[in-house]
Structure 1
Amino acid sequence: MKALALFFLLSLYLLPNPAHSKFNPIRLRPAHETASSETPVLDINGDEVRAGENYYIVSAIWGAGGGGLRLVRLDSSSNECASDVVVSRSDFDNGDPITITPADPESTVVMPSTFQTFRFNIATNKLCVNNVNWGIKHDSESGQYFVKAGEFVSDNSNQFKIEVVNDNLNAYKISYCQFGTEKCFNVGRYYDPLTRATRLALSNTPFVFVIKPTDM
């Protein structure tokens, strides 16, 4: 029954995100309005997502939804560090481990609708060891605002929030909020025709996911 409910719910989010599409800001509750008794973000086992620990962020549906998130270098001609965040094509690929760290240093668990820093926890060479934090960069060629990994300072990388899509199914989405404002945008999918990769980018249609412990 849960699987059927999840499929119906997510079918509402599977509208295409065309190239050069415009996206509109969404209004979210400010972090200070989040109730202290609110349920923390939960993984697929129903356990609280712990601050600073590693998890997989995986598409909540199989088939067209794809698998987990990976850090890759889409420009094979470049010698720069991998910086592109993509959704794996395989349903069976959980992706790369991701560390979620609340902006509030006192937080021991990840709470919804509060600011977080996302970073890939993967082996890199010495030159790329710090190029793992998430941020947003505009791509002039496609007109998209992509989620990228790089040496973002904390004030710029902790502008992401995890939002509840369905608390009964532990399904979530990510939003990105402009610094110093209440304007927030969904983080969704963008199919890049040049690289044939599905990338994370700001979108009207969110990328809906579940969170898996890395020790499963």
Structure 2
Amino acid sequence: MMKKMLDTPPLISLACLLLLLLLSCAAAQSPIFDMKGDELETGVQYRIRSATWGIREGDLTADNLDTCPLNVVLANSGPGLPVTFHLPDASKEASRPVLTSTNLNIQFVTASAGSSCNDGGVWAARIDPILGAFLVSTGGELGALISTFQIKPQGAFHKLVYCVVGLCKDLTILDGQRLGTTFDPLGSHKPLIVIFERVQADDDATIKIKMPTDE
């Protein structure tokens, strides 16, 4: 038996290795389901909600400051702002499945009435030198590196991660309510555990965000 293994042609061994790698990658990606059990899709509006109760309860939304970019924060009450998910290689295609551990962009499709920011609502992570952390805000760009996120399984729920230079770190709540990550090698911050609620057609809680090209 050992002799047969040693006599295995290198090309066959390499092909088997590549097949195993492909299978492992496929196993790492799985569908994501919203609160009603439907698969998440690109181009569809969702609210991202904390799956926990208490201090981290609420929806992700944007603050209502008049300056750009708008900070992505965890709201203590009221519905959060809807988002859409975009794949970097097909940002304008709708109805494609959103899978775990897949690079994607996240975009607010609405803005609070109290904001005059018109940067398009795409999430991005930028370094805050005071906190020594990457904080998530609007003003990103579809397909840009600073706007690359993933959704990963976390027990029975999911978590959001920010990915840069091949490294993905859990997003958590920093400085009271801001979404971000510290890239702390000790992992002292617990990830924000989330669920997804599809926005209904008759939802009138928000208004459409102003895009940079709007007058």
Query: Which runs of 5 or more residues in structure 1 are unaligned?
Result: 1-29
Letter in 1 for 2:101: S
Whether the 8 Å CA contact 2:82–2:109 is kept in 1: the answer is yes
* Structure 1 equivalent of residue 6 of structure 2: none
Q: Percent identity?
A: 27
* Structure 1 equivalent of residue 161 of structure 2: 175
Q: Does 1:145 align with 2:134?
A: yes
* Structure 1 equivalent of residue 59 of structure 2: 68
1:103-118 matched pairs, under 5 angstroms: 103-105=88-90, 108-118=96-106
- Separation of aligned partners in 2, 1:70 and 1:127: 15
- Separation of aligned partners in 1, 2:166 and 2:76: 34
Whether the 8 Å CA contact 2:89–2:143 is kept in 1: the answer is no
Whether the 8 Å CA contact 1:115–1:158 is kept in 2: the answer is no
State the superposition RMSD in angstroms.
Answer: 2.9
- How much has 1:37 moved relative to structure 2? 9.7
Whether the 8 Å CA contact 2:171–2:179 is kept in 1: the answer is yes
Whether the 8 Å CA contact 1:117–1:133 is kept in 2: the answer is yes
Query: How many residues are aligned here?
Result: 171
- How much has 1:72 moved relative to structure 2? 1.1
- How much has 1:48 moved relative to structure 2? 0.3
Cα pair distance change 1:138/1:66, threshold 3 Å: same
Cα pair distance change 1:70/1:80, threshold 3 Å: same
Whether the 8 Å CA contact 1:100–1:117 is kept in 2: the answer is yes
Cα pair distance change 1:37/1:198, threshold 3 Å: closer
Q: Does 1:95 align with 2:88?
A: no
- How much has 1:127 moved relative to structure 2? 6.9
* Structure 2 equivalent of residue 186 of structure 1: 170
Cα pair distance change 1:37/1:96, threshold 3 Å: same
- Give the TM-score of the pair, scaled to structure 1: 0.69
- Separation of aligned partners in 2, 1:31 and 1:121: 35
- How much has 1:36 moved relative to structure 2? 7.5
Query: Which runs of 5 or more residues in structure 2 are unaligned?
Result: 1-20, 204-215
- Give the TM-score of the pair, scaled to structure 2: 0.69
Q: 1:58 aligns with which of 40, 43, 49?
A: 49
Cα pair distance change 1:104/1:34, threshold 3 Å: farther
* Structure 1 equivalent of residue 213 of structure 2: none
- Separation of aligned partners in 2, 1:31 and 1:52: 28
- Separation of aligned partners in 1, 2:22 and 2:197: 25
- Separation of aligned partners in 1, 2:138 and 2:147: 13
- How much has 1:50 moved relative to structure 2? 1.0
- Greater relative contact order (Cα < 8 A, sep 6+): 1
Q: Secondary structure at the match of 1:34?
A: helix
Q: Does 1:135 align with 2:124?
A: yes
Of the structure 1 ranges 36-45 and 52-61, higher mean CA displacement relative to structure 2 is found in 36-45
